[in-house]
Structures are given as structure tokens and as C-alpha cells.
Amino acid sequence: MELIKRRRKGAQNSLARECAVRDYGASSIVCVCNSTYCDSLEPIEEDNISGGHYLHYVSSKAGRRLEMNVGTFKTEMNETVPTFTVDKETKYQEIFGFGAALTDSTALNIKNLSDTTTEVLLNTYFGKGGSNYLYLRVPMGACDFSTRYYSYDDVEGDTEWEHFDLIDNDYQFKVPIIKRASELRGETIKLFATPWSAPWWMKINGTTKGIAHLDEQYYQPWANYFLKYFDAFARQNISFWGVNPQNEPSQGYNYASTIPVMGWSPEAYTGWVADYLGPTLEKGGYGSLKLMILDDNRMWLPNWVNTVLANEKTNKYSSGIAIHWYTDSSSSDVALRQAHEAQPDKFLMYTEACNLVRVTREDLGDWEIGERYANSMMQAFNNWVVGWTDWNMALNEDGGPATFNDNPTVWGYNAAIIVNATGDEFYKQPPYYFQAHYSMFVPPGSVHIQLTYPNPGGLLHVAFLTPENNVVVILYNRNDQDIPTVISDPERGNISINIEARSINTVVYK
């Protein structure tokens, strides 16, 4: 298919390199990257956001991808259009940053590219002009995006972990990717670990998948397993920032599950963290890790917050609450605010998001899979969430590989980047750009600020103040019509812009 390097009429030099467009016939397009070419963003120049100027970046269903225009503030106000007023004095949560997951499948897909194209992909996430990612979620053993079921010690009865070891995928792929990501970013990537399942022989059903929970006789050995994991990476000169005790504990009660799972009730989880995991990490030298409870869907927030964090010891060991997005469309975002109000000293962080839709070549570039990110991210950051971690960084053209592919009724899932290893290229899909409209402009240490809106006119919205004192306003138009809009700053003046139909917009000024 023909590639088109697209520039919209009137667009400024917003990109160091522009999108190499490929249209597969879906509702929008993908941007193609290979060993010699990939679109990237120019760093913001101080002159462009000073002296009464602002920058307006837009990505749209029509095919724009982070296209930028430079504008100037005006003194007059158009009172007939939706107006958003920036209030820099009313501040909410500090932003930790953005990231994605380094699953077995992601590592394999990245390393299936040539060395040169691998470097381009890692730059796309961690380098200058890329997504500005800081966080990586690392599964502790097999997950749904692995090529097989395994743990780090499948020798039955080895409670002293004499056979514990990382696997080749860790040594050959994950360790180099983590180290290179840190080099590209210019600081240590913040890693947090999450297990999907204990070794099969420690569970009451004797298997990695299906309905099961941990046999209580292994509560202490399972806590020791975490120490072995962190020690193994420490020998590779890699340290972790955080840990989630269990991925989606509710999935361990799903009879139909074909992926590695392990169930915990809030009560059992509370006791294990309080009496085993927390003390073990502390005694083992890992007490500074940010322990995040839940790591499951928003619908479970009230019960888990009220049960787990009501325990004094578990509360002491816990730093935050990890949330997945899969029930966001059916559970109110009020739960986020209520969790913050109940535990204001615990941060809220989204740790997994993925469109559970089939990957086909004809659907590459589907705009709607990106729009779901806009809805959830707006809800999250307007309700005390401090960070956002996508699921797989990269999947193949079948949406895998995945452990659940032994089930012929299940297919692979979608991802922000799809890898075509045969062609030595990868495709940046709409979800990549929806997330980049946040991560590229809202660095760690930014603060969510008030954005008032007497008449939002159907636009979703959020605003931030960066450590450099830049104001960042993000607007999402989910309508099929353009919406003329004003952003008003009492100290600077008024920004009059047109918000294109079905578009995500980022406005930056000082």
C-alpha cells in the first residue's frame, strides 16, 4: 500500500518527521515506521509559547496526527461559543507519569524486528520526540500475553526456591529493553511488578489457569517468591519502583478463564499482605516499594478500599490503588473520587487499558478504539488519578502471541502499536496518539488544575500546570461536527480555536 507523508494545509512545522500514512480502509489511518523513518514531535520551543503565543496540537479521525498550529492570545471574547476558564490557583493531584506493560509478547514482538527498527520503536515510546513514558509494568511470570504457561519455579514442593530463575525471555529481551529505555529517557525507568499466578503446585486446583486460589500453607513461601524475583533483577542491575500483589484477583473466580489467574477475596488478600507480603518485603530490603492494592476493575473499588485499607497493617504497607479500565463504561467514575476521599494519602493509578477487540488488517487505524482512551482518561484525571499505564506496548498482526490462543473462540487483542516483523515495520494506531496527547505534554510533577466550563458544549476537558509553568489544556470532541471554542486565562487573554469533529486536542502556553 502506498505511503503518504501527510501535511495539512496551514499546519506549522510541528513534527520532526510527519506521519507516513497507510490506509487499510478502517475509520482512520495508521502511521508506518521502519528502520529509516518514523514520525516524531519537535520539542516545544520557548519562543512559541511566550510573548502571547500558544501551541495547538490536534489528532483526528480525518487523519491529523499531532499536527500543530501556533496562535496568539486575543483580548476580545466570543460569548456565543463554549468557553473554558483556566484557574491555575485551584490545584488537585500531582501527576506521576505514563507508561505501558512489558509483557513476554511485547518483548518478543519488539525483538523480532531488526536491531535498527527495534531502536526506532523504543525511541517512539521513551526517546526525545516520543511518548515520554516513564513507567513499565512487568508481569512476574506468565500472563495472558505470554507464549506458554510458566512460573519461575515449577518444581513441585520447592518452597525454598532452590530452582528459582528468570527465563530466557527475561535475560535476552526484557532486561536489554528496560536498560535501553532508561538510556533513551535519560533517567531510570520506574518498574512495577505484578503476578498473574503462583506456581501451579501452590494452588488448590493444581493448575495455572481456571478458578483457584493460593493454598494457605504456601502463604509465606509465596511472599518469599517476591523477594527472589526482585533479587534476580537486582543481579542484573535493575531495581523496581512498585509492586502489585495480584493481577485482577476477581479473575480467579472465573470458571471460563484460559489465562494464568489466581483469586483473592478482599479479606484473604488483606490478611496475606498484612501478615506475610508486607513484613517480608520490609525485612528483605524492599520496604520502599510502592505497594498498590486491587489492580482490578473500577467496579471493585468500593469493597476493596473499604475492606483492605481498613486493616491498619495493610494500610501501612500500601501506597496506592491500582485500577483497570475494562468496566469504566458500566461503572461510575464517582468511585474514583470516593476512593480518594476515603483514603486521601493513597494515590490512584490506572495500570491496565486495552481494547478487547479482534485485530484484523482491515481494522488497523480504527479511530473508535482510540476514542475509548479519551473517555476513560478524561474521567480518570478529573477524579484524582495520578498516572496511566497502557497494556501491551506492541503486539503482532494477530494481536498476540497469547496464552489464551489455545482457545479457538478467542483471538488476539489490539494495541497502540502493531508489529509486522516480516516487513520489519510497525504501525502506530489511534490509541498511541490519544495517549501521546497527554504523555508528551504532561511530564511527571505536573499538577491537575481547575478548568471551569459554564457551557462545555459536548467537549470533554482537563487541564494541567507543568513544572516549567506551562499550562496544558486537553479537549476531546466526540461529536461529528466541529465546535468553535474559547479557552480563557484571566492573566493572559483568550484563545479562540476550532475543535475539529472527532478529535483530541492539546493546547500549550506559558
Strand segments (E) across 267-358 = 290-297, 320-324, 347-352
Stretch 316-328: mean pLDDT, rounded? 98
Above 70 in pLDDT, residue 406? no
Q: What is the pTM of this model?
A: 0.95
Q: Which amino acid is at 164?
A: F
Q: Is residue 4 part of a domain?
A: no
What residues form DSSP beta bridges with 54? Answer: 71
Check residue 477 and give its pLDDT.
97
- Decide if 352 is catalytic: yes
Regarding whether 162 and 76 lie in a shared domain, the answer is no
What are the cell numbers at 114?
531488526
Regarding whether 423 and 322 lie in a shared domain, the answer is yes
Check residue 14 and give its pLDDT.
54
CA distance linking residue 33 with residue 50, whole number of Å: 33
Q: pLDDT per residue over 472-482, tens digit each?
A: 999 999 999 99
Stretch 364-375: mean pLDDT, rounded? 96
Q: Note down the domain range covering 489.
A: 49-94+447-509
CA distance linking residue 356 with residue 316, whole number of Å: 35
Q: Are 434 and 127 in contact (CB under 8 A)?
A: no
Q: Is residue 156 part of a domain?
A: yes
Give the percent of the chain with pLDDT over 70.
95
**Contacts for 310 with CB less than 8 Å, ≥ 6 apart:** none
CA 472 remoteness from chain centre: 19
Of the residues 385, 413, 439, the one at which a domain ends: 439
Above 50 in pLDDT, residue 444? yes
Candidate list 67, 248, 425, 500, residue with the active-site label: 248
Mean pLDDT over the full length of the chain: 94
**Contacts for 344 with CB less than 8 Å, ≥ 6 apart:** none
Stretch 453-472: mean pLDDT, rounded? 92
> Which residue has cell 492539546?
506
Of the residues 415, 439, 463, the one at which a domain ends: 439
Above 60 in pLDDT, residue 10? no
Which CATH number fits the domain that encloses residue 179? 3.20.20.80
Check residue 358 and give its pLDDT.
79
**Contacts for 7 with CB less than 8 Å, ≥ 6 apart:** 18, 67
Stretch 193-209: mean pLDDT, rounded? 94
Regarding whether 454 and 402 lie in a shared domain, the answer is no
Q: Is residue 24 part of a domain?
A: no
CA distance linking residue 349 with residue 93, whole number of Å: 11
Q: pLDDT per residue over 265-305, tens digit each?
A: 999 999 999 999 999 999 999 999 999 999 999 999 999 99
Higher pLDDT, 82 or 380: 380
Stretch 42-63: mean pLDDT, rounded? 92
Above 60 in pLDDT, residue 87? yes
Higher pLDDT, 333 or 45: 333
Give the model's confidence band at 411: pLDDT under 50 very low, under 70 low, under 90 confident, else very high.
low
Angle between helices 104-111 and 115-126 (to 10 degrees): 130
Regarding whether 222 and 106 lie in a shared domain, the answer is yes
Stretch 431-435: mean pLDDT, rounded? 99
> Which residue has cell 466570543?
78
Regarding whether 321 and 193 lie in a shared domain, the answer is yes
Cis before residue 401, ω within 30 degrees of 0?
yes
Give the model's confidence band at 471: pLDDT under 50 very low, under 70 low, under 90 confident, else very high.
very high
Residue 43 is classified by DSSP as P
Regarding whether 107 and 77 lie in a shared domain, the answer is no
Q: Which amino acid is at 10?
A: G
Which CATH number fits the domain that encloses residue 63? 2.60.40.1180
Check residue 142 and give its pLDDT.
96
**Contacts for 94 with CB less than 8 Å, ≥ 6 apart:** 386, 445, 446, 447, 448
Regarding whether 61 and 151 lie in a shared domain, the answer is no
Above 60 in pLDDT, residue 1? no
The total number of structural domains that make up the chain: 2
Q: Torsion over CA of 149, 150, 154 and 159, rounded to 10 degrees?
A: -120
Sign of the alpha-carbon dihedral angle for 9, 15, 21, 27: negative
For 415-438, give the DSSP string.
-SEEEETTTTEEEE-HHHHHHHHH
Check residue 410 and give its pLDDT.
59
Give the model's confidence band at 366: pLDDT under 50 very low, under 70 low, under 90 confident, else very high.
very high
Candidate list 67, 352, 397, 425, residue with the active-site label: 352
Q: Is residue 365 part of a domain?
A: yes
Above 70 in pLDDT, residue 408? no
3-state DSSP call for residue 82?
A: coil
Regarding whether 200 and 79 lie in a shared domain, the answer is no
Regarding whether 210 and 152 lie in a shared domain, the answer is yes
For 204-224, give the DSSP string.
TTSSSBSS-BB-GGGHHHHHH
Of the residues 389, 413, 439, the one at which a domain ends: 439
Regarding whether 141 and 165 lie in a shared domain, the answer is yes
Regarding whether 497 and 390 lie in a shared domain, the answer is no
Range picked from 3-7, 42-46, 371-375 for highest mean pLDDT = 371-375
Q: pLDDT per residue over 220-265, tens digit each?
A: 999 999 999 999 999 999 999 999 999 999 999 876 788 899 999 9
Give the model's confidence band at 313: pLDDT under 50 very low, under 70 low, under 90 confident, else very high.
very high
Check residue 387 and give its pLDDT.
99
3-state DSSP call for residue 293?
A: strand
Higher pLDDT, 257 or 177: 177
**Contacts for 20 with CB less than 8 Å, ≥ 6 apart:** 3, 4, 5, 31, 32, 33, 37, 38, 39
CA distance linking residue 72 with residue 85, whole number of Å: 17
Regarding whether 456 and 384 lie in a shared domain, the answer is no
Stretch 374-385: mean pLDDT, rounded? 98
Sign of the alpha-carbon dihedral angle for 66, 69, 72, 73: negative
